[in-house]
Amino acid sequence: MATAVVVPGSISATSEKEKYETKVQKLVSAHHYIKHPLQNKWALWFFKNDKSKTWQSNLRLISKFDTVEDFWALYNHIQVSSNLMSGCDYSLFKDGIEPMWEDELNRRGGRWLITLSKQQRKMDLDRFWLETLLCLVGEAFDEHSDEVCGAVINVRAKGDKIAIWTTDYENREAITHIGRVYKARLGVPLKVIIGYQSHADTATKSSSTTKNKFVA
Ligand code: MGP
C-alpha cells in the first residue's frame, strides 16, 4: 500500500496561502450577497371577504421578511392593491402582532386613517400603499416608530382606505408626530385633514363615522 509522504513546510505553506486567499475572497463576495437587515421583522397578511366564514378565519398570513431584499422580492411578487377584488385587505404588521383589534398591542391603540375617493384608486392607491410600507419598514417616525404596530389597506367599492395602526391612543406626542410625518410622506395637502381614531371607538361605532381623537 502506498503511503503519502508529506514534506513539512512546502505543502502546509501552500495550504495556508490558499486558506488565506479563500478567506479574502469570501469577505469580498460577502459584500455582494449579505442582505440588508431591517430594524424589525414584518409579516404580510391577506384578507379575502368570504361571507360564509368569520372575519378572523378570512385572514391569512402570506409571508414574513426582515431584509430589504426580501421586502422587494415579496412586494414585486404580489398583486398591486388596485387589482384586488373589493372586500380584500393587505396588512403589514410587526412580527408577533396580529392585524386585529383584539391583539394585546392593538387593544388600546388606534389608527391614522386615509380615506380615498373612488377616483383616487387609479391615481393614488398603489403609490400611497407603497409609501406606507416604506414608512413602516424604513422606521420613518424617528423615536416614535416603536409605537407603530402595522398598516392596513382596505379595497372597497364605496372608497378605499389605508391606515397606520399605533399601540396607544393616549400617546399624544407619538401619535401627532406620526400623523404629521405620514401626511407629509404621502404628499397629502395641508388643508386636507386626516383623523386618528381608537380601535375601541371603531369597533363599537353605531353611526357610520367614528369620532377623531386627533387630527393632522
Ligand atoms: P373593515 O373591514 O375594517 O371596514 O370592517 P369596512 O369593510 O370598510 O367596513 P366599515 O364597517 O368600516 O364601513 C368591516 C367589519 O369587519 C367590521 O365591522 C368587523 O365586523 C370586522 N372587523 C374588522 N376589523 C379590523 C376587525 C378586527 O380587528 N377584529 C374583528 N373581530 N373584526 C374586525
The pLDDT tens digits of the residues spanning 147-195 come to 999 999 999 999 999 999 999 999 999 999 999 999 999 999 999 999 9
Number of residues that this document lists for the chain: 216
Which pLDDT value is given to residue 31?
Answer: 75
Q: What is the average pLDDT score of the chain?
A: 93
Report which protein residue has its CA nearest ligand 1's atom 16: 55
Report which protein residue has its CA nearest ligand 1's atom 4: 154
Which pLDDT value is given to residue 3?
Answer: 53
Which pLDDT value is given to residue 216?
Answer: 97
H or E stretch covering 110 = strand 110-115
Q: Give dist(CA 183, CA 102) in Å, integer.
A: 27
Which pLDDT value is given to residue 12?
Answer: 73
Higher pLDDT, 115 or 17: 115
Q: Which band of pLDDT confidence, cut at 50, 70 and 90, is reported for residue 15? A: confident
For ligand 1, whether the C-beta of 100 sits within 6 Å is yes
Query: 91 with 44: CB under 8 angstroms?
Result: yes
- Stretch 20-33: mean pLDDT: 82
- Stretch 120-146: mean pLDDT: 97
Instruction: Give the SS3 label for residue 144.
Output: helix
- Stretch 103-108: mean pLDDT: 98
Which atom of ligand 1 is closest in space to residue 89's alpha carbon?
A: 2
CA of 202 to the centre of ligand 1 (A): 8
- Stretch 46-56: mean pLDDT: 96
- pTM over 0.85? The answer is yes
Query: 168 with 108: CB under 8 angstroms?
Result: yes
* pLDDT of residue 10 exceeding 60: no
**Percentage, residues of the chain above pLDDT 70:** 94
Grid cell in block for residue 136: 413602516
Grid cell in block for residue 117: 375617493
Pocket test for ligand 1, best of 45, 51, 55 (most atoms within 8 A of CB): 55
Query: Over the stretch 55-100, which tens digit does the pLDDT of each residue have?
Result: 999 999 999 999 999 999 999 999 999 999 999 999 999 999 999 9
* pLDDT of residue 6 exceeding 80: no
Which pLDDT value is given to residue 11?
Answer: 60
